[in-house]
Amino acid sequence: MCTRLIVLLGDQLSPSLLRFADQKTDQVMMAEVLGEATYVAHHKKKIAFHFAAMRHFAKELRADGWTVSYTTIDAADNRGNLREEIQSQAERCQPDLVVGIEPGEWRIEQLYAELSKTLAVPFEVRRDERFFCSRSEFAEWAQGRRQLRMENFYRIMRRKTGFLMDGEEPVGGQWNFDHDNRKKAPKGLTFPGPLTFVPDAETKSVLAYVDAHFSDHFGDLEPFEFAVTRGQARQALEYFIRYSLADFGTYQDAMLRDENYLYHSLISLYLNTGLLEPDEVCRHIVQAYYDGTAPLNSVEGYLRQVLGWREYMRGIYWLRMPEFKSENFLEAHHHLPSFFWTGETKMECVRQAVTQTKKTAYAHHIQRLMVTGNFALIAGIDPFQVHEWYLAVYADAIEWVELPNTMGMSQFADGGVVASKPYASSGNYINKMSDYCASCHYNVKEKTGPGSCPFNTFYWDFLDRNSDKLRGNPRLGNIYRTWDKFDPEKQASYRAYADVLRKELL
């Protein structure tokens, strides 16, 4: 018997979520279920990370005095899905009330809504207070606005929290320092990389199970080097601040062959599962500026990702679901190419991004946006298939943050709600920000025809075939004027070779 049965999910590994609860009378339930590991074919490392982190968190809760009912994936009585696990635990515990925390996925919220009607006891959903902006607060901000631009939202969050503020004005006299954060990494830089960890016995047990039962899933399982406890995640944050934050901003958009991390922190998966909380991350990052150990451009750039973009993505997700998942403004319908799973392509930038993803379950934001995402956009890949790929392959991918990034920012499937223009580019951008093109089979300087970079042809073909939808975009006016100056034969050559590439690559 217990007064309340509190359901914690695999992305709710934060003790702060239990502030309302009573250790003496309440019980926490957690469950590893097959349905959550397979609704998309998650990367093997992602599955192992979630199960290992959940087990360690449950152990910490018990050590702190909580009663925890925990069902492992290999338990004989595991029902295989979250609904039946909750029902079973409710029958066993016979609580006066079952409590869930706001989930990060719309499908789980629907499941909770159904459980509130079918459980024998009341079911209550409490707000997830780890976020700076509640869902209702974001909806109120969005109401009546013609454009929902992140920059405007971010400034409100800065004023609300006081981070990097001098009264009502931003520290340094400007809100962001993007112009300082777009440099290509020069030769000779060394990168400390993120802090890595050796699996303990509990984690090794998880790795063995995943290896045996999820062998057909994407990705390499080992080496497994993620943090799986809150203590380790805090160490990873401190290590990043000490060794990488100072140069993070300047080179955050850079890409280099066989450099998986550069100055990036690799803590998004810890944030998105709750091992770290946004407030503690922001406080520590901002303190580095005041301590003089990191420059303002790096600190503000990182703060904007956590306080601005992350909160904005969550607000957009809940504002636009469930229709968001099926939007396809540009009517793109080609299937996702097999090389997104194998990495077997002559395009060096895509090969690097996919191979790295396969090995690490990670790629940084420019690799996702301007390499794999850019290719999918200009080639005309079905955005829902792109969404499911991103959700599956990255360890930090929880739907509330992944889907609006993919459907809105990356694939422009929402028609411009998130992004003011499509993030489409030719090979020139990739060449500018990386060293990929120098070793590529294709020639980035060739605009179209055999041997030319596919990004070049697909870029102009993308603009041409979507002219009716995009020509009126004020940020694309100059680009369309350039296209209009091409003679008809040149325009026809782009269209014709795009057809050739689609047959070869798609």
Residue at a domain's end among 94, 126, 158: 126
Instruction: Please say whether the beta carbons of 480 and 467 come within 8 A.
Output: yes
**Residue 234 is assigned to a structural domain of this protein:** no
Note whether 115 and 52 are same-domain residues.
Answer: yes
DSSP string of 455-475, one letter each residue: HHHHHHHHHHHTHHHHTT-GG
How far apart are the C-alpha atoms of 19 and 23, rounded to whole Å?
A: 10
**Residue 217 is assigned to a structural domain of this protein:** no
From first to last of its 506 residues, the chain has per-residue pLDDT tens of: 789 999 999 999 999 999 999 999 999 999 999 999 999 999 999 999 999 999 999 999 999 999 999 999 999 999 999 999 999 999 999 999 999 999 999 999 999 999 999 999 999 999 999 999 999 999 999 999 989 999 999 999 999 999 999 999 999 999 999 888 888 898 888 889 999 999 999 999 999 999 999 999 999 999 999 999 999 999 999 999 999 999 999 999 999 998 999 999 999 999 999 999 999 999 999 999 999 999 999 999 999 999 999 999 999 999 999 999 999 999 999 999 999 999 999 999 999 999 999 999 999 999 999 999 999 999 999 999 999 999 999 999 999 999 999 999 999 999 999 999 999 999 999 999 999 999 999 999 999 999 999 999 999 999 999 999 999 999 999 999 999 999 999 999 999 999 999 999 99
User: 97 phi and psi, to 5 degrees?
Assistant: -155, 140
**Looking at residue 308, which CATH number applies to its domain?**
1.25.40.80
Note whether 49 and 116 are same-domain residues.
Answer: yes
Note whether 368 and 464 are same-domain residues.
Answer: yes
Note whether 256 and 368 are same-domain residues.
Answer: no
Closest CA to 83 of 116, 117, 111, 120: 111
Q: Which residues share a beta bridge with 123?
A: 98
Note whether 285 and 357 are same-domain residues.
Answer: no
Which ranges of 145-277 does DSSP label H, i.e. alpha helix?
Answer: 150-161, 201-213, 230-243, 245-248, 268-273
Count the domains in the chain. Answer: 3
**Residue 208 is assigned to a structural domain of this protein:** no
Straight-line distance from the first to the last Cα atom of the chain, in angstroms, rounded to the nearest whole number: 58
Residue-range definition of the domain harbouring residue 419: 339-505
Note whether 433 and 469 are same-domain residues.
Answer: yes
Q: How many CA atoms lie within 13 A of 71 on its CB side?
A: 23
